[in-house]
Structure 1
Amino acid sequence: MKKVSLFVKAMGLGLLAATGASAQYNPKASYEGPAKLNTWSVSLMGGPTQFFGDLREYDFYPVGKTSSDSYNERNSGFFGVAVGKQLSHLFGLQLDAQFGNLVGMKRRQYFSYFRSNFIQTDLTGSVNLKSLLFGPNKMKRWKIDAYTGIGVVFFKSTAYEIGTGRVRRWTKTNNGDGILREAKYEKDWAIPLGAAIHYEVSPRFDVGLDFRITHVNTDRIDATVGGNSSSYFDGYGTRGAFDRAPERRGESNLDKLGYGAVMVTYKLGKNAIRVQKVNGKYEYDTTKGTYHLRWTDPKLLIKPPVILTLEQIDSVAKANRPKDIDPRLLTDSDNDGVSDYFDRQPNTPAGSIVSGAGEAIDFEKYVSAALPGVACAEIFANVTFDTDKNIIKPQFFDMLNKVVELMNKTQCRLQLSGHADRRASDRYNIALSRRRVEAVKNYLVKQGLNDPNRIVIDYFGSFKPIGDNSRNGLTKNRRVELRLVP
């Protein structure tokens, strides 16, 4: 019952889906999946037609011969063309047109037969019953549709007397002047109901069978209105303009017409492919081309996530592991501000002022020889502090004074970085390292630095140690690093 309910809802919401789904689904969309899908198709169809109305001898079996008291009801057919737009895997729209003829006869009461030419055009919505009821993975090459819609039928009919072939009635033959003229086309609304079975022959072509009954809003397709006296055989062959019986419907039911057709469908779109069976299982590969929405549920194109085992994760991690960092990049054995990897003189005495290459320089001579207005080379120095203190020791006064002199003579910039050892909380150490770096800056300003804006300060607490937790290592970590740069 649940699947039947789904089918009823899908049919009932067909026209709404035609407008709403067209915005949700289009040829450039992903259809809730990673790949585009083709959606358009063109179909050609043809086959025998059958009339259901007043001039019909039997309900289910058409008469097959013509004689003095019968007429062959089987020599009628049609051909048609349809353009389809698949809005989703389960729902599609078709605009189609059919051209054909109808034949029927009735011995009792009417003793007449008719021939009619018709043109019918419809807009129908179809539901993919196979996928709806059985799922997209069953009967992969088969598609079963049920459809309905609305259309217009144009028909031109003439009724004849059985045996003699005398004309009895026409459609639209009288303009009111009493003059009989040949039949002309009438039109009326039509509601088609049908089912189609398709088989996917190739990436481009489908073949199928289509069966349809069309309910027409008139009783005049056979040039006969049921119960109207002008339609009865009176022994003399009452003939005349059908406009003398202008009613749309008589005492009988409205007319119907049907057909059974062979259909060939060509699927439009670029790089058309269809799903292939690999090792007994259908597998989709969107890199090889574009599937058609008629046959492919977009959800099947979404690859399931791959869950790796611990061994696989470890293998991937090892394969992508970066090369080990040279430990010399992280160590500064002589505490001069230059890592051992770049240090050309890795054993400079404590408190040395060094160049960017880690070589000790005579800072006093360097300051004396500096030319006014020029940029200085990269120079490193450290100022260390006592535990939990931010007071500058006297032993660093001379060096800091030389820094002021050098900056006032040249265009040097100064970067100050404050640090602390690990014997306190992170929050406390950040504040302590900030007080230390501000103490060095304030000292430089008090000593006459003429442009404090060339000083950049940072403070890192205990997050960038250069020594261990030994007494000597803790002393190295309680520092402010000075870096003079061009």
Structure 2
Amino acid sequence: MKTNLKKASLLLTGVLVGSKLLAQTPDTLAVKDYVRPFSGGDQFRTWSIGVHGGLLTPYTIFGRNSHQDFTHPSEQFGYGAYIKKQILPSFGLQADFLRGEVSSSNSHVTAAGTNTYDSYSTKLNWSAALSANFTLANINWRHDRPFIQPYLTAGAGYMNYTPRITPAGGQQENFKKTDNGHIGEVFIPIGLGLKFNLAPGVNLDMGYQVNFVQSDNFDGYNFGSGDDRFSYAHIGLEFALGSSKKPQMAVHNPVSSMRTEYMVENQRTRAELQMQIDAEKAKNAQLASDLAATNANLAKLTTDSDGDGVVDVNDKCPNTPAGQKVDGSGCPLAKPVIYVTEEDKKVVKDAIKNLEFDLGKATIREHSFPSLDRVAQLLVDKNFSLKLAGHTDNTGSDELNMRLSKDRAESIKSYLVSKGANASRIEATGYGETQPIATNKTAAGRQANRRVEFTLF
């Protein structure tokens, strides 16, 4: 008994020392534990493994222990491990493994009044069980991260054990005489416990488990009509698997995450509102500045010092003599200015469109005369200048094309002069095939390149 207590004390000391090495500050825990509400399970660590050690004894918290086959139980050391998958914050499935030894002494007397056995010792070779784990509370209303999670477990499994009994006054022997005394039985494990969060992904696990063996063979003595059972009080560590950046689902506090989300959204909304307010203030300030500048400019727009009809702000030639005609910038006009209108450009465009020559010659065809007459009248009426630029395709020699383009431009000039246009205001130039506007590889392209361009100014 003292030896077992000493083992348990050493185990608890090792666990507590390890917990201090792994501890972190509350601020770090709070940051790592935040998960946006209603996020998927991939935002958590859902797998974990655990190791534990403790005491095995026939006494349990269920039923009347005085009715068990042996009346003087003792405590023996046991150990185990598990792997758990957390499906929901409050529900998980875990696979358990357990080994150890269970013993007791002083069997019940028989009907004849004799004490059949002095003691028994059952070696638990191995046991495997699948259990449901129910976390009863992982919400702490006062802190971001809960520290303690109570839990319940229940499941079913299979164990392999070897019971050895010592008859009164005899030697210890196997209860089963075959298979080296090994027995395989189904059992039902039911447990409860507390988990203490030592660090992110590391929990101290303190639990108590009662194992109901589905037979009366576990202690090697069939006395009475009840099945055998034994308990296991243990302490150990649980380690969450996966990225340390994710919180463990079983210890996650969803209320804290919802509160954090609310605070973040509140701060974001306040920041957005403040930005909008600042932007409106900036707009108002700009409007006020623009209004002041506009008022100052309006004052300038009403002043015309030299009385020429152009306000001072636009007058590039101030102090012009009274009665002097000026242009839009307030400078004297040397002569009337005549502008090329859209109608004028249309007259020239029609002349270009209707212009045709005899093939390979500079002779203008008669149907081109009416539109050229309108160009000549325009030059006479408005005293415009005109540049004529003749062009050809690449058919024929360069010398021939250059001469033909020049002759056609001169032919148009001669016709316009004959209609009254000022010859000094008309320039005729030939460029031959040097400035194509389309490809010469097609008939359409060559047709486009055979042209005379009119530039009115």
TM-score, structure 1 normalization = 0.45
Greater helix share, structure number: 2
TM-score, structure 2 normalization = 0.48
